Structure 1
Amino acid sequence: MNYENLMKKATALSLENDRHIREIAAIDLGSNSFHMIIARIVNGSIQILSRLKQKVQLAKGLDKNGILDQEAITRGVNCLALFGERLQGFKPENVNVVGTYTLRSAVNNDEFLRQAKAVFPYPINIISGETEAHMIYAGVSHIQPESGRKFVIDIGGGSTEMIIGDNFTPIIARSRDMGCVSFAKHFFPKGEITPEAFERARRTALARIADLAECYQALGWQHVLGSSGTIKTVHQVIAANLDPDGVITAGRLDFLIERVLKFERFDELKIAGLNDERADVFVPGLAILSTIFDTFNIVQMRYSDGALREGVMYGLDQNFQVMNIRQRTAEGLAGQFNIDRLQAERVSKSVVQLAQQFHEWQASEFADEMQEIILWAALLHEVGIVINHKNMHRHSAYILANMELPGFDREQQRLLATLVRHQQNAFHSDEIGQFARYTPLDVLSAIRLLRLAILLNKSRQATETAEKISLKTDRTLWQLEFEPAYLTRNPLVRQDLKLEQKNLIEIGLELNVQ
């Protein structure tokens, strides 16, 4: 791992403490559901205040001639009236509302806008498919930790967006008219499930994306990420039935297809992880997703919490174009919780000094990822001190486990919280919990590295930095060697190391100190 670059990330936290607070709202008028996010910008970071979602299913009211019926318009307008109540007092420049596939397809969308204006005082922007794709990519990029080239797929109620990009920059973005609501209406009109209807849906989906396959595969990608309801539901069903990691693969999709085709109707679908409100769009969404996997030869996909509404939200402020999303998140937390940045930097330097000597990772493919999260844990381990010093490790873990942390997926956020939870005092390995991605021994090793780094800097500004620390490790025995006379000059460090030895012995681990 490039430790020089890692330390640059650690020390890049801005010393400015911008106290400007701005409340913003982002609304996505989708073909299946309307979503609203209320947030505020504090210290350069976004804090989510509330999320509202209402199933409207506009696409069900769109006929073959592109006319949106009055029942669908009424459902949408009533939802906007509800949103408008929550937005009282918001300035128009702080509210961004976008309409997607159904509204751009409806030839009478002006009638929807006219009726909406009577109850909702903010402008509604009906965006093109390509603009929607760009916003979805921005939403995923601002939330997910993956860097490099990404293939982002979003299956909505009326359209599907497919984007390949590098970091924050989309290279190719396409939107095609196929969605879980429109396909349900066309191929499963009475809610009946048959293999023939499922195959017709797949053939239609293939016809609409086949022309993209060669170009997209030529560009290639490092990561595949999926967003919005259909992919979220598939992720949840896989996690509940096959593997808690929820990773989507072609084989797992085949398992789900075989499972759902045993049912005859949408209202009979009873599968762990499938919410009742998604039952009527799950099967058509599955047909589209499986076709995308086959067409683009996708190996695996991870679910992303970021989607169109997050892209709309982050588009309200130009200051969010930061290449390292975790850095931006850490900056916001450092300002919000008044972290002692000098102490955070001291602990971070010690973590890097120790981690670069550790080579015993069991899951080597996650070694770089784990070491970077250890660094962020070193930077943020004291966030809980704002509550009080007593049980700070518990307060810090609670804050990091429950806050919105753009740049960290859920497994990474759990690891971050787990590391700071066990940063001090005695602990038992069975308290750590199981992870889908990381091995128990690797998590335990990460905890040990962080604990040692914090221990070496307990004296804060009075800390004498050890110029040379040698760390040799195997599965249970670690050997720590300092420069001559260091422990003699630092009796408190020596005392704390003896206590750490005792704590480790109680869980079957050893630490030799010289």
Structure 2
Amino acid sequence: MIPNKAAIIDMGTNTFHLLLVELYEDRFHTIYKEKIPVKIGQGGISQNLIHPDAQKRAFHTLKHFRSLIDGESIKSVFAFATSAVRNAENGPAFVREIKESFGISVNVIDGNEEAQMIYEGIRFSGSLNGQTALMMDIGGGSVEFIIGTANEAFWRKSFEIGGQRMLDLFHYHDPIHSEEVDNLTAYLKENLFELQEAVDLYRPTALVGASGTFDTLTDIYYHTLKLQKTKNQQVFQLPRKSFDEIADKLLTLNKEERLKIPGMIPMRVDMIVVASCLIKFILQMVPVDVLTCSNFALKEGAIAQLMGKHSLAPAVSR
């Protein structure tokens, strides 16, 4: 029996998400959702540590989330932590303190589980059609790639090359220097050879991006069209030509100028430059005319699993 009400907490490296839902057998209703740029990876991710300032921001946010959960009298709380926490030497102590202080048990998921939950979220959104798609989710700590269809995932893998890591390694100047872009591209080529092998094997013909950076890119695109996204829409299309125009522009602007772009939100303004470089790199592997953007990702994948809509076929991870 699925709980009638549930709270999902996605403790990402850049953003903490809270989703309060009513669950039904064939659908869910969102009671409340919120995202806060905790930036738990800031100042420590390159040293495999959660910085004390980041811990303070995390605890402050979780206290706020706890009060919202209690306000809805929700007993079923599902909290997930990803790259920054799973790689941090002080991650276990951090998780214990969350349990002691807020009564929230955090499930620190590995990269394979994270990729699977993202796949569940993407397929739940209705983003997948008959084509074999390369799916990607750009987090602050890791990037997940899945190759599959609406029926099954053929291959999935998590790479610890997320936005905060790329920022720390390559984005020293603002606007970013062309040499830094070249160094980042060389780094991606070196670190994503397994993805290239999987693309060569399965030959995906569609590219689906989950949440985060892709949400912001489509927001910017919709502003150029003077259109509003509808609340009930989970899937958006971003023409390749429009993505290229937006990405090329982002590479020439500093932070203050990027913030002025209609559709830009402050929590994405730093990572969107290196994230756009990553998408450009992926488009060399899968040269599509249109990018499909799903605003369902890990937390909706958790809901899909709660509702029993998860994939029955285990994906192969190589």
The yes-or-no answer on 1:309 pairing with 2:291 is: no
SS of equivalent residue, structure 2 residue 281: helix
2:113 corresponds in structure 1 to 131
| Counterpart Cα distance in 1 of 2:94 and 2:175 | 31
Work out whether residues 77 and 115 of structure 1, in 8 Å CA contact, stay in contact via their aligned partners in 2. no
Q: Give the alignment of 1:55-454 within 5 angstroms.
A: 55-88=37-70, 89-91=73-75, 94-144=76-126, 146-148=128-130, 149-189=132-172, 191-241=174-224, 247-263=237-253, 265-269=254-258, 270-318=260-308, 320-321=309-310
SS of equivalent residue, structure 1 residue 58: coil
| Counterpart Cα distance in 2 of 1:81 and 1:147 | 40
Number of residues paired by the alignment?
301
Root-mean-square deviation (CA, aligned residues, Å) is 2.5
Task: Give the residue type in structure 1 aligned to 2:257.
Answer: E
User: Structure 1 residues 62-71 or 213-222, which shifts more?
Assistant: 213-222
Deviations 1:60-105 (A, max 9, x none): 13243312211111111111111111222433xx221110111111
| Counterpart Cα distance in 2 of 1:31 and 1:219 | 30
Work out whether residues 191 and 267 of structure 1, in 8 Å CA contact, stay in contact via their aligned partners in 2. no
Describe the shift of the 1:300–1:213 C-alpha distance in structure 2 as closer, same or farther (beyond 3 A): farther
Quote how far apart the aligned CAs of 1:138 are. Answer: 0.1
| Counterpart Cα distance in 2 of 1:43 and 1:177 | 35
SS of equivalent residue, structure 1 residue 247: strand
The yes-or-no answer on 1:38 pairing with 2:28 is: no
Work out whether residues 40 and 48 of structure 1, in 8 Å CA contact, stay in contact via their aligned partners in 2. yes
Q: Runs of 5+ in structure 2 lacking a partner?
A: 230-235, 313-318
Task: Give the residue type in structure 2 aligned to 1:267.
Answer: E
Describe the shift of the 1:109–1:190 C-alpha distance in structure 2 as closer, same or farther (beyond 3 A): farther
1:451 corresponds in structure 2 to none
Work out whether residues 136 and 208 of structure 2, in 8 Å CA contact, stay in contact via their aligned partners in 1. yes
| Counterpart Cα distance in 1 of 2:146 and 2:226 | 27
Task: Give the residue type in structure 1 aligned to 2:266.
Answer: D
Greater relative CO (CA pairs within 8 A, separation 6+): 2
| Counterpart Cα distance in 2 of 1:66 and 1:262 | 31
1:338 corresponds in structure 2 to none
| Counterpart Cα distance in 2 of 1:291 and 1:222 | 16
Q: Runs of 5+ in structure 1 lacking a partner?
A: 1-17, 324-514
Work out whether residues 31 and 102 of structure 1, in 8 Å CA contact, stay in contact via their aligned partners in 2. yes
User: Structure 1 residues 24-33 or 62-71, which shifts more?
Assistant: 62-71
Task: Give the residue type in structure 2 aligned to 1:281.
Answer: M
SS of equivalent residue, structure 1 residue 61: coil
Work out whether residues 158 and 181 of structure 1, in 8 Å CA contact, stay in contact via their aligned partners in 2. yes
| Counterpart Cα distance in 2 of 1:45 and 1:253 | 32
Task: Give the residue type in structure 1 aligned to 2:263.
Answer: G
SS of equivalent residue, structure 1 residue 164: strand
Deviations 1:336-382 (A, max 9, x none): xxxxxxxxxxxxxxxxxxxxxxxxxxxxxxxxxxxxxxxxxxxxxxx
Work out whether residues 187 and 201 of structure 1, in 8 Å CA contact, stay in contact via their aligned partners in 2. yes
Q: Look at both structures and tell me which one has the larger radius of gyration over its CA atoms.
A: 1
| Counterpart Cα distance in 2 of 1:61 and 1:111 | 18
Work out whether residues 67 and 107 of structure 1, in 8 Å CA contact, stay in contact via their aligned partners in 2. yes
Work out whether residues 25 and 307 of structure 2, in 8 Å CA contact, stay in contact via their aligned partners in 1. no
| Counterpart Cα distance in 2 of 1:168 and 1:27 | 27
| Counterpart Cα distance in 1 of 2:45 and 2:300 | 30
Deviations 1:471-509 (A, max 9, x none): xxxxxxxxxxxxxxxxxxxxxxxxxxxxxxxxxxxxxxx
1:423 corresponds in structure 2 to none
Work out whether residues 255 and 270 of structure 2, in 8 Å CA contact, stay in contact via their aligned partners in 1. yes
Structure in which a larger fraction of residues adopt strand:
2
1:339 corresponds in structure 2 to none
| Counterpart Cα distance in 2 of 1:97 and 1:259 | 37
| Counterpart Cα distance in 1 of 2:221 and 2:160 | 26
Quote how far apart the aligned CAs of 1:221 are. Answer: 3.2
Task: Give the residue type in structure 1 aligned to 2:42.
Answer: K
SS of equivalent residue, structure 2 residue 46: coil
| Counterpart Cα distance in 2 of 1:239 and 1:161 | 26
| Counterpart Cα distance in 2 of 1:114 and 1:120 | 10
Structure in which a larger fraction of residues adopt helix:
1
Match of 1:48 among 24, 30, 39: 30
Task: Give the residue type in structure 2 aligned to 1:73.
Answer: Q
Describe the shift of the 1:114–1:43 C-alpha distance in structure 2 as closer, same or farther (beyond 3 A): closer
Question: How does the TM-score come out when normalised to structure 2?
Answer: 0.85
Work out whether residues 37 and 52 of structure 1, in 8 Å CA contact, stay in contact via their aligned partners in 2. yes
| Counterpart Cα distance in 2 of 1:44 and 1:80 | 30
Task: Give the residue type in structure 2 aligned to 1:207.
Answer: E
| Counterpart Cα distance in 1 of 2:10 and 2:114 | 10
Quote how far apart the aligned CAs of 1:231 are. Answer: 1.3
2:233 corresponds in structure 1 to none
Question: How does the TM-score come out when normalised to structure 1?
Answer: 0.54
| Counterpart Cα distance in 1 of 2:220 and 2:279 | 14
Quote how far apart the aligned CAs of 1:172 are. Answer: 0.4
